[in-house]
């Protein structure tokens, strides 16, 4: 009987882990990832924060490209290139700022109270 309950728990555990591959659960999992990227999580593990930083470096690279395009547009006096590069750079820079900020978001730690009121 003990063997059966251990196998039953193992089966239940495997089924729970594989639930993220069917439709409603993938939507729920995707929503939590999007929320983590955009809002951050003070309880994120160091691996999650490092992964977010790796993802943010891609956006930082796009931001650097936008800066180069703007500088090139200014030097060649191309108004359209400058405006498009500035708009693109502003959007990418905003997203990159949010991602990097969320990667470094930490839990706020309060001083322990001794239970006394003044």
Q: Is residue 35 part of a domain?
A: yes
- Residue 118 located in a structural domain: no
Domain presence at residue 36: yes
Residue 83 is assigned to a structural domain of this protein: yes
The band of 81, judged by pLDDT with boundaries at 50, 70 and 90, is: very high
- C-alpha 53/C-alpha 60 separation (Å) is 10
Round the average pLDDT of the chain to a whole number and report it.
82
Q: Is residue 117 part of a domain?
A: no
What is the C-alpha to C-alpha distance for residues 69 and 90, in angstroms, rounded to an integer? 13
Q: Domain span at residue 83? A: 2-103
Q: For the chain, what is the domain count?
A: 1
User: What would the pLDDT profile of 24-74 be if each residue is shown by its tens digit?
Assistant: 777 766 777 778 888 888 788 888 889 999 999 999 999 999 999 999 999
The model's pTM: 0.64
Domain membership flag for residue 45? yes
SS3 19: helix
Residue 112 lies in a domain: no
Residue 116 belongs to some domain of the structure: no
In the prediction, which pLDDT does 10 show?
A: 84
Q: What are phi and psi of 28, to 5 degrees?
A: -65, -45
């Amino acid at each position: 009987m003990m063997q059966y309950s251990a196998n039953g728990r193992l089966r239940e555990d495997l089924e729970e882990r594989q639930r993220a591959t069917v439709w409603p659960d993938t939507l729920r999992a995707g929503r939590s990832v999007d929320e983590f990227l955009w809002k951050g999580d003070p309880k994120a593990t160091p691996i999650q924060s490092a992964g977010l930083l790796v993802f943010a470096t891609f956006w930082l690279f796009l931001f650097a490209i936008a800066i180069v395009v703007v500088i090139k547009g200014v030097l060649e006096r191309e108004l359209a290139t400058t405006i498009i590069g500035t708009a693109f750079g502003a959007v990418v820079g905003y997203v990159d700022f949010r991602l990097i900020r969320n990667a470094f978001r930490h839990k706020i730690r309060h001083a322990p109270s001794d239970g006394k009121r003044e």
